Amino acid sequence: MIRFGPAGNSDSFKAMGYKKTIQVPEYVEKMGLNAYEYQCGRGVRISEEAARELGEEAARRGIALSLHAPYYISLSSLEEEKREGSVDYILQSAKAASAMGATRVVVHSGSCAKISRQQALELAGDTLRKALRALDENGLSHIRLCPETMGKVNQLGTLEEVVELCRIDERMLPCIDFGHLNARTFGGLKEFSDYKRVFDHIEDRLGVSRLREFHSHFSKIAYTENGGEKMHLTFADTVYGPDFDPVAELLVQKNCAPTIICESAGTQAEDAAQMFAVYREKAAKQS
């Protein structure tokens, strides 16, 4: 089943009178969505009990949960202590995800500002292998780590780099952030063929199964001429991309059923609903 949902809460969450995390599944359901990504960007602060309660309510309403690990994870740091700390943060994230019934944890890949991209990739791969061992040792082998494509040029996280990291273990899924890919290539996602190359590369390197179930982030993102990502926008923006229409077309053509999480700035649930509508229209025409 394909799933669409927001990353965290839109401004409308409070505007509609909601206040508590436990109310999120009701809100997501009311918005016509079936996924939600819990944000731990600034640290894993949710208690095991709260995570379990959220998971039970989400399951009751048919909402699939995923979790975004802390932003300060650095898989490719030159400092071994920071890489070991990143393994611990991933383990904390996995424990919280498991408690809420989620199986996907999104992880930032790291930086390569002071080292070569190849060296950064090798360090990140080593850190992920250690993280996977830690998950196995703690009974969390069902958690799937999802390295994310990143939006800034000096960050590790091109499509090719993320896919190579996912080749470490078949449990891992790429988190394809189309906004990030477009930003780091300065608007490189223009034609249908540009989007198709993304899908084809995943299929060629990871196989049909992981293509069909990949994880995704989507939002329009402003970028600078040389650095890449600047800020997240909303679907109301008409200057920056990317465009969801070709993504929806490819999802239908290739029979994909990923989880697509919208990261728009304040309208993530509304924009996720818009994407869901576009996808349903494409799927209806295909059938």
pLDDT tens-place values along the chain, 287 residues long: 999 999 999 999 999 999 999 999 999 999 999 999 999 999 999 999 999 999 999 999 999 999 999 999 999 999 999 999 999 999 999 999 999 999 999 999 888 878 999 999 999 999 999 999 999 999 999 999 999 999 999 999 999 999 999 999 999 999 999 999 999 999 999 999 999 999 999 999 999 999 999 999 999 999 998 999 999 999 999 999 999 999 999 999 999 999 999 999 999 999 999 999 999 999 998 87
Q: Rounded to whole angstroms, how far apart are CA atoms 67 and 92?
A: 11
Two structure tokens written together for 116? 């070569």
CATH number at residue 210: 3.20.20.150
Q: Rounded to whole angstroms, how far apart are CA atoms 65 and 101?
A: 7
pLDDT, residue 200, reads 98
pLDDT, residue 114, reads 83
pTM higher than 0.95: yes
Please tell me the total count of domains within the chain: 1
DSSP-assigned letter for residue 48: H
pLDDT, residue 113, reads 75
pLDDT, residue 44, reads 98
Q: Rounded to whole angstroms, how far apart are CA atoms 159 and 214?
A: 13
CA angle 171, 177, 181 (to 5 degrees): 120
Characterize 237-266 residue by residue with b for buried, 16 or more Cβ atoms within 10 angstroms of its Cβ, and e for exposed: eeebbbebebbbbbbbeeebebbbbbbbbe
Let me know: does 214 contact 251? Beta carbons within 8 Å.
Answer: no
Domain containing residue 90: 3-286
Between the CA of residue 265 and those of 107, 176, 236, 262, what are the distances in Å? 20, 18, 11, 9
pLDDT, residue 286, reads 82
